[in-house]
C-alpha cells in the first residue's frame, strides 16, 4: 500500500543519497496514485508527510489481482483517487464509476489513471505548476484528515473534499451543473462519503494552519466540467486580515449558513447570516458580496447570477489544465463558498443512488 511504498521510497532516496527501487502497489490507492510520480515521505509528529523527497522508482509493477484481498472500504479509498482522475481528465473514466462495472474494468481504470498521472509528472515533477491539479479535492480532504486526527482514511477524506469543491464551484458559477450532482452520485455509488462531520470553520482553520501550505497562498483546484479543471490561488492574508480602507465592525462578521436546496436563495440565508463570528474572523459583509448586490444579504439569487455574469466578462473559462486563473473574485467569497458546501446535505436524488 501507499504507506509501505512511501517509506521504502523515502529510505531509498536517502540511503547513499539515493539508490534504485521498485514500487509494487498492492492497493488500488497505491496503484492509481502514490506509486506513480516519485513522491516519498514519512510522517512527523508535527504532521503528515513532512519529511520527504522526490525519488522516482525505476519501475512500477502492479498485479491487480492483489486488489481482491482488499476490504470494500480500502478499495473505495482507491476509487476516490480514480474518480478524481476522471473529473480532471476523462468523461469515459468518470462514467465507469457512475454506471459501469468497476471491478470488471479495473485494469483499464488503473492504466488510465497511471497514464494520466505519468504525463502530468513528466511535465512538472516537483509540483510547481500543473501537478497541483492532482490535488483536486485535497484542500478540504487534507483538512478533514487533520481534523479527524488521521482516523478518516485518505480516500474517504478526498471523496468528501471532491464533493465539497464541486458544490462550491457550481455555487460560484465556475462549473457547469449538474457536475456536483454527478460527482456525488459517483462517490455514493462507490461507497464513499460526500460530506463531513467537521464544521466549515474547523476545516478552514485546518487548511490555513497546514504546514505544507506554500507561502501565503492556498491553491484551490476547481472542477469546471467532467474532464476539465482550473487552479485558483487565494492569498491567505485576504482571508485572515480585513482590508484597511474599511472600518471593521465586529458585528458584521459573516457566517454562511447551511445550504438549503429547498431554499430559493441557496446557501445564503438572509441578513441574519451576519450574526456569529466566522472562525477566521474579521470579514466584513461587503467582502462576501459583490458591490452590485449592495448591502445586506437579500439578493443571493442576484449574487449567483452576478457571479456568472462577471465570470463571463473576465477571462474565458476555456479548457485549462494547470493554468492559473485570476477570476478577481474576493478570496473571502471563494472560501465562504467552499465552507458553505461543506455543510451541504445530500440531495434526494444523490441519496437515492445505489
Q: Shortest Cβ distance from residue 343 to ligand GLY (Å)?
A: 27
**Which residue, 131 or 156, is less far from ligand GLY as judged by CB?**
131
In the Cβ-directed half-sphere of 173, how many Cα atoms lie within 13 Å?
19
Q: Which of 56, 80, 82, 131 binds ligand GLY (CB under 6 A)?
A: 131
Catalytic positions, written as ranges: 17, 39, 81, 117, 127, 131, 135, 138, 142, 154
| Residue 32 DSSP label | I
Q: Shortest Cβ distance from residue 63 to ligand GLY (Å)?
A: 21
8 Å CB contact between 230 and 323: yes
Residue 154: all three cell numbers together: 485518505
In 202-351, which ranges are E strands? 217-225, 228-235, 324-325
| Residue 267 DSSP label | T
H-type alpha helices, the chain: 2-14, 28-29, 72-89, 91-99, 106-123, 138-147, 154-171, 179-189, 200-208, 236-240, 300-313, 331-342, 348-352
Q: Which of 87, 134, 203, 259 binds ligand GLY (CB under 6 A)?
A: 134
Q: Which of 37, 57, 86, 141 binds ligand GLY (CB under 6 A)?
A: 37
Q: Shortest Cβ distance from residue 244 to ligand GLY (Å)?
A: 37
Q: Shortest Cβ distance from residue 30 to ligand GLY (Å)?
A: 11
Q: Shortest Cβ distance from residue 234 to ligand GLY (Å)?
A: 20
> Is 278 exposed, middle or buried (CB count within 10 Å of its CB: 0-12, 13-18, 19+)?
buried
Q: Which of 2, 29, 33, 288 binds ligand GLY (CB under 6 A)?
A: 33
Per CB under 6 A, contacts with ligand GLY among 135-174 are: none
**CA 196 to CA 238: how far, in whole Å?**
26
**Which residue, 131 or 253, is less far from ligand GLY as judged by CB?**
131
What mask of x and - would describe binding to ligand GLY in positions 91 to 130, judged by CB under 6 A?
A: ------------------------------------x---
**CA 324 to CA 217: how far, in whole Å?**
13
Choose one: 31-39, 233-241, 285-293, 330-338; the region binding ligand GLY (CB under 6 A).
Answer: 31-39
8 Å CB contact between 43 and 23: no
Q: Footprint of ligand GLY on this chain (CB under 6 A)?
A: 33, 37, 39, 127, 131, 134
Amino acid at each position: 500500500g501507499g504507506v509501505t511504498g512511501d517509506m521504502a521510497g523515502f529510505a531509498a532516496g536517502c540511503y547513499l543519497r539515493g539508490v534504485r527501487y521498485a514500487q509494487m502497489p498492492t492497493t488500488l490507492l497505491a496503484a492509481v496514485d502514490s506509486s506513480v510520480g516519485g513522491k516519498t515521505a514519512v510522517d512527523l509528529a508535527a504532521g503528515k508527510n513532512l519529511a520527504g523527497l522526490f525519488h522516482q522508482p525505476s519501475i512500477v509493477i502492479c498485479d491487480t489481482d492483489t486488489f481482491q484481498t482488499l476490504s470494500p472500504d480500502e478499495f473505495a479509498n482507491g476509487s476516490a483517487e480514480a474518480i478524481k482522475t476522471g473529473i480532471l481528465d476523462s468523461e469515459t473514466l468518470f462514467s465507469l464509476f457512475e454506471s459501469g462495472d468497476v471491478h470488471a474494468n479495473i485494469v483499464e481504470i488503473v492504466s488510465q489513471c497511471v497514464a494520466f498521472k505519468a504525463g502530468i509528472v513528466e511535465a512538472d515533477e516537483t509540483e510547481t505548476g500543473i501537478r497541483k491539479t492532482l490535488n483536486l479535492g485535497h484542500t478540504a480532504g487534507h483538512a478533514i484528515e487533520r481534523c479527524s486526527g488521521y482516523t478518516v482514511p485518505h480516500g474517504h477524506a478526498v471523496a468528501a473534499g471532491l464533493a465539497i469543491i464541486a458544490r462550491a464551484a457550481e455555487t460560484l458559477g465556475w462549473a457547469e451543473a449538474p457536475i456536483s450532482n454527478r460527482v456525488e452520485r459517483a462517490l455514493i455509488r462507490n461507497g464513499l462519503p460526500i460530506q463531513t462531520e467537521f464544521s466549515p470553520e474547523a476545516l478552514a482553520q485546518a487548511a490555513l494552519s497546514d504546514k505544507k501550505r506554500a507561502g501565503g497562498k492556498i491553491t484551490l483546484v476547481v472542477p469546471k466540467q467532467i474532464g476539465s479543471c482550473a487552479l485558483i490561488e487565494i492569498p491567505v492574508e485576504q482571508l485572515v486580515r480585513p482590508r484597511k480602507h474599511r472600518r471593521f465592525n465586529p458585528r458584521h462578521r459573516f457566517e454562511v449558513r447551511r445550504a438549503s436546496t429547498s431554499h430559493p436563495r441557496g446557501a445564503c440565508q438572509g441578513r441574519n447570516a451576519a450574526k456569529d463570528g466566522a472562525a477566521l474572523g474579521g470579514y466584513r459583509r461587503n467582502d462576501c458580496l459583490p458591490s452590485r448586490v449592495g448591502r445586506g444579504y437579500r439578493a443571493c439569487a442576484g449574487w449567483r447570477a452576478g457571479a456568472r455574469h462577471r465570470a463571463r466578462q473576465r477571462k474565458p473559462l476555456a479548457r485549462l489544465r494547470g493554468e492559473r486563473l485570476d477570476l478577481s473574485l474576493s478570496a473571502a467569497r471563494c472560501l465562504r463558498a467552499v465552507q458553505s458546501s461543506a455543510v451541504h446535505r445530500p440531495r434526494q436524488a444523490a441519496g437515492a443512488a445505489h
